[in-house]
């Protein structure tokens, strides 16, 4: 009996370790482990547990790169596999989380139909709706991030759902590379009133992808996958890493990819009547995004336009905006004045890179 008890404890401990969350792809997050032939009808998965580690609902297809849909060839990154969420279809997986911690979900998606596609994503009780109708890369694939706060020490269901209903049941987005990362939101310091001004804290970037991660529009500060920052615009901003892009400082930065429709902001605590200096770097990501660029910066009632002529090969310049705070909270906002596309494909949306944003109090220069 003692031996059986010890064996049970050992098995439970092993089970707990296997379920413990670590940053990166979720188990079978790239869907390379697929269903058995007996669990499929054509490309449709008929068993809700047919794809290991996932539970399916509705019209879900298991797609191999190169598979044809009529006259269209479905291309999957790394020439691997993906799932397609048809009418009212969803996939979900349970993950262990820690109470009070923030987590960012990253997944890659591609449209396969003409209508305005969107995805519901949830980690109960948090949920969000992500529009995916705008293509930001010429490959047709974009990665998206979404964040949530864990309410308890427990398992949480990560669910991705296509709420659309089309005459063609299979019509819906392809999903690949689902990952998660624990976020550690930084706090203001005496060297920077802004949080996460270097953008070093953010969502997981899928290895071997060259398109960054989109921070979707209408993302609020409380649940932002880019801690400290809000995206309060109609289009997304793009999160970049130094492994695939030229970054002005550190390992992460943000690219303002959709002109004035791509704006991000943060509200900082300030002292009325005190002078402040807002400094930041403007550049290009070395991704063939060339031409005239301009970043507009706003801090309270002050503003600054920073022009940047890009050769598309990387580079940056510093900018400074001085202002006097008029209230206890000052909204700092950045946007791009122009729309740009990459010169190598003339299709991928791109724009100026923003990095190393700092806000500090300075001595009043006005005479008394």
pLDDT digits (tens, 9 = 90+) for 106-118: 999 998 886 678 8
- Tell me what pLDDT residue 359 has: 98
Say yes or no: 214 and 349 in one domain: yes
Give the range of the structural domain holding residue 278, as residue numbers without chain letter. Answer: 185-368
- Tell me what pLDDT residue 221 has: 64
Tell me the CATH number at 298.
Answer: 2.60.120.260
Taking the model in full, what pTM does it have?
0.90
CA-CA distance, 161 to 344, in Å (whole number)?
A: 34
Say yes or no: 176 and 201 in one domain: no
Query: Looking at 132, 158, 183, which one is the last position of a domain?
Result: 183
First-to-last alpha carbon distance for the chain, in angstroms, is 86
Say yes or no: 202 and 332 in one domain: yes
- When pLDDT is cut at 50, 70 and 90, the band that residue 15 belongs to is very low
Sign of CA dihedral 143, 149, 155, 159: negative
Q: Of 222-226, 320-324, 363-367, where does mean pLDDT reach its minimum?
A: 363-367
CA-CA distance, 80 to 64, in Å (whole number)?
A: 6
Q: How many residues are listed for the chain in this entry? A: 368
User: Which whole-number Å values give the CA distances from 299 to 27, 177, 242, 277, in the listed order?
Assistant: 43, 38, 28, 10
- Tell me what pLDDT residue 248 has: 97
Higher pLDDT, 345 or 103: 103
CA-CA distance, 23 to 234, in Å (whole number)?
A: 29
Give me the number of domains the chain comprises. Answer: 2
Is the distance from CB of 102 to CB of 118 less than 8 angstroms? no
Task: Count other C-beta atoms under 10 Å from residue 253's C-beta.
Answer: 29
CA-CA distance, 2 to 219, in Å (whole number)?
A: 54
Say yes or no: 27 and 143 in one domain: yes
Q: Of 11-15, 205-209, 295-299, where does mean pLDDT reach its minimum?
A: 11-15
Higher pLDDT, 221 or 127: 127
Region 332-337: mean pLDDT is 97
Say yes or no: 209 and 302 in one domain: yes
Sign of CA dihedral 291, 292, 298, 304: positive
Say yes or no: 282 and 355 in one domain: yes
Query: Looking at 138, 163, 183, which one is the last position of a domain?
Result: 183
Q: Give the bridge partners for 235, in sequence order.
A: none
1, HSE (Cβ side, Cα atoms, 13 Å) = 0
């Amino acid at each position: 009996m003692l031996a059986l008890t010890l064996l049970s404890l050992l098995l439970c401990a092993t089970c707990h370790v296997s379920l413990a969350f670590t940053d990166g792809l979720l188990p079978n997050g790239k869907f390379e482990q697929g269903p058995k032939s007996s669990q499929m009808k054509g490309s449709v998965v008929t068993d809700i547990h047919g794809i290991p580690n996932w539970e399916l609902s509705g019209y879900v297809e298991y797609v191999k790169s190169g598979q044809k849909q009529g006259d269209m060839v479905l291309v999957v990154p790394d020439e691997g596999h993906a799932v397609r969420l048809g009418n009212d279809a969803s996939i979900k997986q349970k993950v262990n989380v820690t109470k009070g911690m923030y987590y960012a979900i990253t997944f890659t998606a591609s449209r396969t139909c003409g209508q305005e596609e969107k995805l519901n994503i949830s980690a109960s009780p948090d949920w969000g709706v992500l529009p995916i109708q705008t293509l930001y890369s010429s490959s047709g694939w974009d990665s998206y991030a979404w964040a949530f706060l864990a309410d308890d020490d427990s398992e949480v269901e990560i669910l991705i759902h296509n709420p659309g209903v089309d005459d063609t049941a299979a019509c819906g987005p392809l999903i690949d590379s689902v990952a998660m990362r624990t976020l550690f939101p930084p706090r203001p310091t005496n060297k920077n009133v802004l949080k996460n001004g270097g953008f070093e804290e953010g969502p997981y970037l899928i290895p071997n992808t060259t398109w960054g991660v989109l921070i979707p529009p209408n993302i609020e500060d409380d649940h932002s996958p880019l801690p400290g920052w809000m995206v309060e615009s109609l289009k997304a901003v793009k999160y970049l890493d130094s492994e695939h892009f030229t970054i002005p400082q550190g390992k992460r930065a943000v690219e303002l990819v959709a002109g004035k429709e791509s704006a991000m902001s943060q509200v900082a605590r300030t002292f009325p009547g005190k002078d402040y200096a807002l400094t930041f770097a403007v550049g290009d990501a070395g991704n063939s995004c060339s031409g005239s660029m301009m970043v507009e910066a706003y801090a309270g009632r002050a503003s600054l336009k920073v022009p940047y002529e890009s050769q598309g090969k990387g580079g940056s310049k510093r900018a400074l905006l001085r202002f006097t705070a008029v209230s206890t909270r000052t909204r700092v906002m950045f946007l791009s004045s122009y729309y740009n596309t990459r010169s190598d494909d003339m299709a991928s949306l791109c724009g100026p890179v923003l990095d190393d944003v700092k806000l500090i109090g300075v001595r009043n220069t006005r005479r008394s």
